Amino acid sequence: MGMTMSQKILAAHAGKGEVRPGELLEANLDLVLGNDVTTPVAINEFHKTGYTQVFDGEKIAIVPDHFTPNKDLKAAEQCKMVREFAHQMGIANYFEVGAMGIEHCLIPEQGLAVPGDLIIGADSHTCTYGALGAFSTGVGSTDMAAGMATGRLWFKVPSALKFVLKNQPAPWVSGKDIILHIIGQIGVDGALYKSMEFMGDGLAHLSMDDRFTIANMAIEAGAKNGIFMVDAKTIAYVKEHSTKAYRIYEPDADAVYDEEYELDLSTLRPTVAFPHLPANTKTIDEVEDIQIDQVVIGSCTNGRLSDLRTAAGILKGKKVKKGVRVLVFPGTQRIYLQALREGIIEDLVTAGAVVSTPTCGPCLGGHMGILARGERAVSTTNRNFVGRMGHPESEVYLASPAVAAASALTGKITDPAQV
C-alpha cells in the first residue's frame, strides 16, 4: 500500500521505510516554533525536564507576535521571560520587536521552512508551512518543551483527504475563498486529525500566498495538517528565501485516501464565513444587507504583500465609509517596507485606514482592534468563534482582502466586483 506526502515525511523522519495511518512513532524535528503566549508555558515545562540546553539553537524559532509590542504588564513580563530564555539557550531565530513579524508570515520569509521538513509549533496555525510541501502541525506547549529539549516528538500517523483543484479561479476569487468554500463543504470537523493534501492542475493558478492561506486554515476543518504538492512556484519561492537543503515528497500512485474531493476553481465565488464558525459560509451572492463597524486586513492568513496590494487596489482614490474603522496589519517588516515602496501604505492611509506594526493582536481579541458589544467586523483572519475578536455579543465575518476592502467602502458586506 502506497503512502501520502505526509506519511512519507513522517516515515523519513522516524527512520522507517513505511508507515500506516494510526501508527504511533517518534520522529526527528527540523524546526520547533513558539510565540510570546505559548513559549512561557513551554519554558516552565522545559525546566522541569532537567535539561539545561536545547537540542539545537539553530532549529528553534521564537516570535513574540501575539501581544507585542507589549500591550500590558503581563505581556511585558512574558516577553522578558522569553527574551532571557532565548539568550541563555543560544536560540538564533529569536525575533525581537523591530525584526519580528506575524510568525506564520515570518517563518517562510526567513527560509526556516522548506519542502520535506517536519515542523511543530505551539500555535494551531503552524500548519501554514504545508504550502511549501512540509509536514507542519500545531502542538501544545508541553510538546514544544519536549521538542526543544530532545529534537524529537511522537506522532500518530494521520490518514488523508485528497483535494484535486482544477481550472483557474474567476476574478476576485483567492485562496481565502477556496479554503472557506472547502470548510463550508466538509465542516469544522470534516478533516479531524487527517492530512488535507492538495494537488491538481489548478495549483498552477494559485500563488504561494494563496497556498499559505489555504494551508493555514486546514486546522479550521480539524485537520492535523494541510500540505501542497511541490511545483515550480514552490521551488522558486524556496530559492528566493532559503539556502537550507530541502527534499520533495510526492504521494505514491496507490496512496490511500479516506475521501477524494474534486474542486472546479472556475465555478467558485467570493465566499464569506458568517458567525460563529468558519464553516458557516455563504457566497457573496447570498449575502444580504449586513452592516459593519470594523474591517481588519492582515493576520497570518492574509497579511502578505499580495493581500495588501489587493486591498489598496480597491481603496485607492476612494474613501472608507464614515463610521467604519479599517485596520491593516502587514505580516512582516519586510512586507511593510515593500508596501511603503509601492505606495500601498499611502493609498490605504489616504483612503482612511490605519496601519499597524505586524501583530496578531486583533485576530484573537488581544489588542489593537477589540470589538464592543453588538459590533460587527469583516476580517481577513481565520476564526470567528463567539468572542474571538472581543465581546461575546460581537460578530466576525471572515472574508478575503478583496471583500474586506470593498466592504470598507460601503459599510456593509460587498462584492468587490461592485465597487
The residue out of 228, 263, 298 marking a domain boundary is: 263
> Is 101 part of any domain?
yes
Give the burial class of 284: count Cβ atoms within 10 A of its Cβ; 0-12 exposed, 13-18 middle, 19 or more buried. buried
Q: Is 118 part of a structural domain of the chain?
A: yes
Instruction: For residues 245 and 320, state if they share a domain.
Output: no
Q: Which residues pair with 156 in a beta bridge?
A: 24
Q: What is the DSSP letter of 131?
A: G
Rounded alpha-carbon distances, angstroms, from residue 389 to 257, 260, 346, 368, 414: 36, 34, 27, 10, 21
Total tally of structural domains belonging to the chain: 2
Measure the N-to-C terminal CA separation of the chain; round to a whole number of Å: 52
Which residues fall within 8 angstroms of residue 307, CB to CB, at 6 or more apart? 209, 297, 298, 380, 401
Looking at residue 34, what is its pLDDT?
Answer: 96
Largest CA distance in the chain: 62
Half-sphere exposure of 18 (CA within 13 A, CB side): 8
d(CA 363, CA 298): 9
Backbone angles phi, psi at 221, to 5 degrees: -100, 10
Residues 227, 297 within the same domain: no
| Helix, strand or coil, per DSSP, at residue 125 | helix
* Domain membership flag for residue 1: no
C-alpha cell at 124: 494551531
Instruction: Map grid coordinates 504511533 to a residue.
Output: 24
> Which of 212, 209, 408 minimizes the C-alpha distance to 323?
408
Give the pLDDT score at 80.
95
2 within a domain of the structure (yes/no): no
The three cell numbers locating residue 406: 470593498
Would you state the pLDDT for residue 399? 98
Same domain, 85 and 225: yes
Q: Are residues 159 and 192 in the same domain?
A: yes
- Mean pLDDT, consecutive 10-residue stretches, the chain (419 aa), reads 95 96 97 96 94 96 92 93 96 92 96 97 96 97 96 97 97 97 95 96 96 97 97 96 92 96 97 95 95 96 97 97 96 96 97 94 88 96 92 96 98 95
**Same domain membership, residue 358 and residue 223:** no
Shared-domain flag, residues 130 and 201: yes
The pLDDT of residue 363 is 85
Residue 224: phi, psi to the nearest 5? -70, -35
**Same domain (yes/no): 247, 346:** no
Query: Which of 217, 244, 263 is the last residue before a domain boundary?
Result: 263
Helix (H, G, I), strand (E, B) or coil at 197: strand
pLDDT for position 243: 80
User: What whole-number distance in Å separates Cα of residue 318 and Cα of residue 4?
Assistant: 48
Kindly report the backbone phi and psi dihedral angles of residue 20, in degrees, each rounded to the nearest multiple of 5, phi listed first: -130, 150
- Do 78 and 167 reside in the same domain of the chain? yes
CATH code of the domain covering residue 283: 3.30.499.10
Is 348 a member of any domain? yes
Three-class DSSP labels, 148-186: HHHCEEEEECCCEEEEEEECCCCCCCCHHHHHHHHHHHH
Residue 177 forms part of a structural domain: yes
Last residue of a domain, one of 263, 294, 318: 263
Q: Cell numbers at residue 63, please?
A: 516570535
Q: Kindly write down the DSSP assignment for every residue of 342-409, as one continuous string.
A: TTHHHHHHHHT-EE--S--TTTTTSSSSPBPTT-EEEESSS---TTTTB-TT-EEEE--HHHHHHHHH
Range of the domain at 126: 8-263
* Residue 111 and residue 31 in contact, taking contact as beta carbons nearer than 8 Å: no
∠ Cα 116 110 201 (to 5°): 50
Long-range residue pairs from 189-193, CB within 8 A, at least 24 positions apart, any chain: 189/221, 189/222, 190/161, 190/221, 190/222, 191/161, 191/218, 191/221, 191/222, 191/223, 192/222, 192/223, 193/156, 193/158, 193/222, 193/223, 193/224
388, part of any domain: yes
25 and 151 co-located in one domain: yes
Q: Does residue 3 sit within a domain?
A: no
- Alpha-carbon distance values, 112 to 32, 57, 103 (Å): 10, 13, 11
pTM exceeds 0.85, yes or no:
yes
Q: Are residues 396 and 369 in the same domain?
A: yes
379-to-215, 295, 333, 375, 403 alpha-carbon distances in Å: 18, 6, 21, 13, 9
CA distance 255 to 356: 45
CA-nearest of 265, 269, 268, 339 to 298 is: 339
350 and 400 co-located in one domain: yes
Q: Are 189 and 312 in a shared domain?
A: no
Provide the pLDDT for residue 317.
95
